[in-house]
Amino acid sequence: MERISWDEYFMAQSHLLAYRSTCTRLAVGATIVRDKRIIAGGYNGSISGGVHCIDEGCYVIDGHCVRTIHAEMNAILQCAKFGVPVEGAEMYVTHFPCLHCCRTIIQSGIKTLYYAQDYKNHPYAIEQFKEAGLIVKQVPFNENKMNPHYEDQMQLTFDLLQAVEEGAADSQDKVARLRQKAEQLYPAALHLK
């Protein structure tokens, strides 16, 4: 497997954080980095000890869930809570931040923002980033690249499709070889047999 870049590494951390999200509308993760070291991480969810959207649904006012604290805010608040300065740091986030988070990122002193996916990119947020001199870069993220078996799994899938198309049910040896390969590539799925 090819070694990933620093940007891919920190973006992968943000995607991993997004798996902790309790938001049912969009799972977002954010990682704050200084000198190639992670200093904080956050995901979108309710306040500590509060009711979560995944349990009771979103609390929507004017089209926005007011129950959720955004990932970027949670990461910055984690730094504030533990006295970790963010001045000059970088932030990696899975989706382009909302207008409120953009202003918070600027005000916190973060100097570079990396995001993986466009998400309602507000023109005023882009304008404010430019005015503040904050560097904004999109870092496309391919989650499949993190899986060392991805190419083999894709090949198996296409081999199975081809075998079905060719009527390989008559060829027990080919089916047995494909099943063995599938069991090697998907060991967690053996219980599905």
Choice between 185 and 138, residue whose per-residue pLDDT is larger: 138
Rounded mean pLDDT, 24-40: 96
Regarding whether 157 and 87 lie in a shared domain, the answer is no
Q: What is the pLDDT of residue 169?
A: 56
The domain of 27 spans 6-143
Regarding whether 132 and 153 lie in a shared domain, the answer is no
pLDDT in tens, 93-120: 999 999 999 999 999 999 999 999 999 9
Q: State yes or no: pLDDT of 150 exceeds 70.
A: no
Alpha carbons within 13 angstroms on the beta-carbon side of residue 193 total 9
Regarding whether 151 and 135 lie in a shared domain, the answer is no
Check: CB of residue 34 under 8 Å from CB of residue 89. yes
Residue 168: helix, strand or coil by DSSP? helix
> H helices of the chain, where?
6-18, 53-56, 71-82, 99-108, 123-132, 150-165, 172-185
Residue 191 belongs to some domain of the structure:
no
The residues with which 31 forms a beta bridge, in sequence order, are 41, 92
Residue 192 belongs to some domain of the structure:
no
Domains of the chain: total = 2
Q: Which residues are catalytic?
A: 72
Residue 108 belongs to some domain of the structure:
yes
Check: CB of residue 129 under 8 Å from CB of residue 152. no
Classify strands 90-95 and 29-34 as parallel, antiparallel or unpaired. antiparallel
Regarding whether 178 and 93 lie in a shared domain, the answer is no
Q: Which amino acid, 191?
A: H
Q: What is the pLDDT of residue 140?
A: 87
Rounded mean pLDDT, 54-61: 92
Residue 1 belongs to some domain of the structure:
no
Regarding whether 99 and 71 lie in a shared domain, the answer is yes
Q: What is the pLDDT of residue 134?
A: 98
Residue 193 belongs to some domain of the structure:
no
Rounded mean pLDDT, 148-175: 70
Rounded mean pLDDT, 19-34: 95
Regarding whether 35 and 113 lie in a shared domain, the answer is yes
Choice between 76 and 172, residue whose per-residue pLDDT is larger: 76
